[in-house]
Structure 1
Amino acid sequence: MTRRFRIVAAALAALTTAPLAMAQSAGSPEGIWLTQAGDAKVRVGRCGAGICGVVVWLKEPIDPQTGKPQVDDKNPNPALARRPIIGLSLFSGMRPSGPNRWSGQIYNADDGKTYASNISVSGPGTLKVEGCVGSLCGGEEWSRSSR
């Protein structure tokens, strides 16, 4: 095997295993994250070839007006507006899109809408979460939580 062929073969092998390596690296988004406002925790984990994010904790799990668990009442679909916020899936179609970066969609329970989204690990304890409408993006930084 020539040196050039070995280099090309090694590069191809790295490209085909890159998504798996990203998920297993120190820059993995897997774990529990506290939102920037500190009002919710989201468990991020593998979901097929991508990642999923599910609400696992709320600072105020009980709606003060109804005395019942918080529900997805901003959702325009009446059938979905009754689902509990705890257990709600926020990420969909999140696939690797670069080193420590995933792209897909994010559901915003504050307005009941789904947006194009990017998430990236920007440090050992920081997850940058962006939602986009066209070319305009807004985001926040979530911090890694021990529980």
Structure 2
Amino acid sequence: MLKSFLTSGLIAAGLAATSASLASAADAKGDWVRPNGASKIRISSCGASLCGKLIWLREPRNDTQNPDASKRERPLLGVQIVQSMKPTDQAGQWKGKVYNAEDGKTYTGFIKLVSSDELKLEGCVMGGLICKGETWTRAQ
């Protein structure tokens, strides 16, 4: 009987952990504001991944730093800056690509749900040795 109780408890704990991990993925979805308040990014599903596009800019401008000259006249509004983020083995963390419109480069990127209202984004070079990031807050 004790063995049956322990087994049931382990199964329930496993299901709870799976549900929590799925809830975390859903919680990363939504609208996020950069710390400087200059832009909002909408994180949503794109297939089995998470992606994020610019949905608001304090000062709308074009993608002038893009290495592809044919894209330099396009408005940044609507551009996908968080690309193909897939879950890692760390809870609440995804890895993919991040496009930085300020320098026109795409970096290896990570997003991590810090809390229900904070999402940390990092762009990395040299295989993740050097990373720079910021923490976004959920838009109200």
Tell me the TM-score range normalised by the shorter chain: 0.7 to 0.9
- 5+ long unaligned stretches in structure 2: none
- Determine the C-alpha separation between the residues in 1 that align with 2:81 and 2:23: 24
- Residue pairs, 1:104-143, within 5 angstroms: 104-134=96-126, 135-143=129-137
- Determine the C-alpha separation between the residues in 2 that align with 1:19 and 1:94: 15
Question: Runs of 4+ in structure 1 displaced over 3 angstroms?
Answer: 2-22
- Determine the C-alpha separation between the residues in 1 that align with 2:35 and 2:104: 19
**Root-mean-square deviation (CA), in Å?**
2.3
Change (3 A) 1:34 1:78: same
Aligned position for 1:67: none
- Which structure shows the bigger proportion of residues in helix conformation? 2
Task: Please state how far the C-alpha of 1:141 moved relative to its aligned partner.
Answer: 0.7
Change (3 A) 1:124 1:14: closer
Aligned position for 2:39: 40
Percent of aligned positions with the same letter in both sequences? Answer: 39
- Deviation string 1:13-39 (CA, Å, 9 cap, x unpaired) is 788878644323xxx211111112211
Q: How many residues align?
A: 134
- Determine the C-alpha separation between the residues in 1 that align with 2:115 and 2:70: 39
- 5+ long unaligned stretches in structure 1: 62-69
Matched, 1:31 2:30: yes
Secondary structure of the equivalent of 1:86?
A: coil
Instruction: Normalising by structure 2, report the TM-score.
Output: 0.82
Q: Is the 8 A contact 2:52 2:82 kept in 1?
A: yes
Instruction: Normalising by structure 1, report the TM-score.
Output: 0.78
